[in-house]
Chains A and B, each alone.
Chain A
Amino acid sequence: MTDHLPILPVLIPFLAGLLLLALHDRPLALRRGLGLAALVLQIGASLVLLQAVAGGDILVYRLGDWAAPWGIVLVADRLAAWMVLITNLLALFALVQASAGLDLRGRHFHVLFQMQLFGLAGAFLTGDLFNLFVFFEILLLASYGLLLHGGGAQRVKAGLHYVVLNLLGSSLFLLAAGLLYASLGSLNMADLAQRSASVAPENLGLARAGGLLLLGVFALKAALLPLHLWLPAAYANAPAAVAALFAIMTKVGAYAIVRSHTLLFGADAGPLANLFEPWLIPLALASLPLAALGALAVRSLGRLTAYLVILSLGNLLLAFSLGQAGIAAGLYYLPHSTFAAALLFLLGEAIARRRPFSADRLRVDADMPNLPLWGGLFFLAAVIMAGLPPFSGFLGKFLLLRAASGHDAMIWIWALVLISALLAIIALARAGSRLFFQTSVTEGRALAGTLPGSAASVHELVALFGLFGLILLLTLLAGPALEFTQATAEQLLQPALYRDAILNPAPVHSPGTAP
């Protein structure tokens, strides 16, 4: 069983998706139950996987039992298991929220949802550059369907831009993979890492071009400046449960950046070492104030959250370019920012549903029913999203600042991180006071009270408090979580471990070679 552990997170959603497709005309309750059951199973599998790799083992799964670098491999190390677990925990609450009625508004929601998880898990676990492209396409195709779920002119317009940009991104990804193959002669990431140290001088230019093109593609997925312009419209127009799930999609780009930054272009990559670093720090730094200014300028809660996603991505990529301490801080901040963004997206929809005239636009409207509950939740979510104490975001940012101390650009990093955080707090406070204090005429209260679904539904509360619980757990278990992310960073900065596990496996770690 443990031999097949690395492929379980990929297989479970795939099979569940196929099953749900076959059962598409069965009662909705059955499909919801199946989707949830698959997700619970998936969380169990990713917990076991995390347990299996926590000690530092790198599990390698050879598909078809072909030895790398000729065959395709799935690789589960600490980073991959951590990302898969975060994805599945997030997906659980997004699915709970979607089961409140979003899945009624179109066909095949549950199939697309499982396929999205299939693509995400595959992208985190694959050890092959071309398969990374294939899994990117799978998760993107599912995300197009989810983004457009329910229809509407605004959504179609935002969706069209999103689809076209990602298609161009896919073409660039193929170009980058082709350039790396031409110059280094392999697509297996471990093999690439090994060959990059001894790249022939005449191929050096090609390899650098390929590597930087790869950074461009991942930066597009991660919405790093200046490739962030697609994100606010796409996320603000997506259904809330889908936008919540999309909080992990930008992190796929961040994951791919940190993986290639440490593995392909790490310290022992010879002439290609630290290829990303001169680009990553300035771009991440520049994206902080711009995202904060965007957050100040917006006129709806959905767009505000989208700009805060860009802001947290800037923090994250900044952390990833600051060496071991920075990567550890970033990997701790990553689940926090993912859950926080999802929480704010879900809360945004809950608030929008209770405002009869302006939905989530930051305008005067009638008093919401149950104001203390929603106001209190918004206050909590804002504190979490802005990274104020006592929650995990504060710790993550504190560690980021500590990792930056002594760095050449320390002044810039400290100043921009702190100022952008202050601007984010101002933007959130402004949104909160617009939403909850500037309410008009009292007759609005009566009107709002008659809105269908104005009572808090179980789905909403489970999803919101579930995400809040995850953040609380991350805060309370900061000790063990940080130990884990530090060990992860250590493992990432020793790419030789990854290479040896795949290319020179010890007999213990080679599943399936015994007759």
Chain B
Amino acid sequence: MEALLALCIGLLTACGVYLALRGRTFSLVLGLTLISYAVNLFLFAMGRLTLGQPPVIDGSGQHADPLPQALVLTAIVIGFAMTAFVIMLAIKAKAELGNDHVDGLSDKDAHD
């Protein structure tokens, strides 16, 4: 399970970084989203992986670490808000600059 999760996080991060470096606001937003998914999974794993245990201390002595779950929940909410904001900003940038390049370059300039 550890290897699978590590592979997922690594793959998500790699794809996210690649997309974020593309220089177009659409792929940039997708890349940032993938990176934030990777970070959330990573945070989740930081409480050590446990199977089939409740994240609540119920006296039986067996429980998953509840703190990372609370952290992930907060991080997801904040991540949603930030993604929504950056999408709106990307739309505004497209309207103001006339294209979706992050530096406001047209296709011709970008290829020069």
- A residues with CB within 8 A of B: 130, 134, 137, 141, 144, 148, 151-153, 156-157, 159-161, 163-164, 167-168, 170-171, 174-175, 177-179, 181-182, 187
Contacts and interface: CB of A to CB of B under 8 A. Distances in A.
Contacts of B28: 164
Contacts of A170: 78, 82
A174 B93 CA distance: 28
B36 to A, nearest CB: 6
Contacts of A182: 46-48
Contacts of A159: 89
A144 B92 CA distance: 13
14 contacts: A130-B71, A153-B104, A160-B90, A163-B85, A163-B89, A164-B102, A168-B32, A171-B32, A171-B39, A174-B39, A174-B71, A177-B43, A178-B68, A181-B46
Contacts of A153: 96-97, 104
Interface string B5-32: 0000000000000001000010010001
A40 to B, nearest CB: 31
A174 B97 CA distance: 32
A329 B103 CA distance: 40
Interface of B: 20, 25, 28, 32, 35-36, 39-40, 42-43, 46-48, 67-68, 71, 74-75, 78, 81-82, 85-86, 89-90, 92-93, 96-97, 102-104
Contacts of A167: 32, 36, 82, 86
A141 B90 CA distance: 15
B35 A160 contact: no
B67 A181 contact: yes
A178 B45 CA distance: 9
Given A157-B93, A178-B46, A164 B67 contact: no
Contacts of A174: 39-40, 42-43, 71, 75
A318 B78 CA distance: 33
Nearest to A138: B78
Contacts of A175: 39, 42
The 6 closest A-B CB pairs, nearest first, are A182-B46, A178-B46, A153-B96, A178-B43, A156-B96, A174-B39
B49 to A, nearest CB: 11
Contacts of B68: 178, 181
A161 B102 contact: yes
B68 to A, nearest CB: 7
Contacts of B74: 130, 134
A156 B46 CA distance: 37
B93 A156 contact: yes
B102 to A, nearest CB: 6
Given A148-B92, A167-B82, 13 more contacts: A130-B71, A141-B82, A144-B89, A151-B96, A156-B96, A157-B93, A171-B36, A175-B39, A178-B46, A179-B46, A181-B46, A181-B71, A182-B48
A175 B90 CA distance: 26
Given A156-B92, A171-B36, A164 B86 contact: yes
Interface centre among B46, B74, B103 (most CB of A within 10 A): B46
Contacts of B46: 178-179, 181-182
Contacts of A168: 20, 32, 35
A480 B26 CA distance: 54
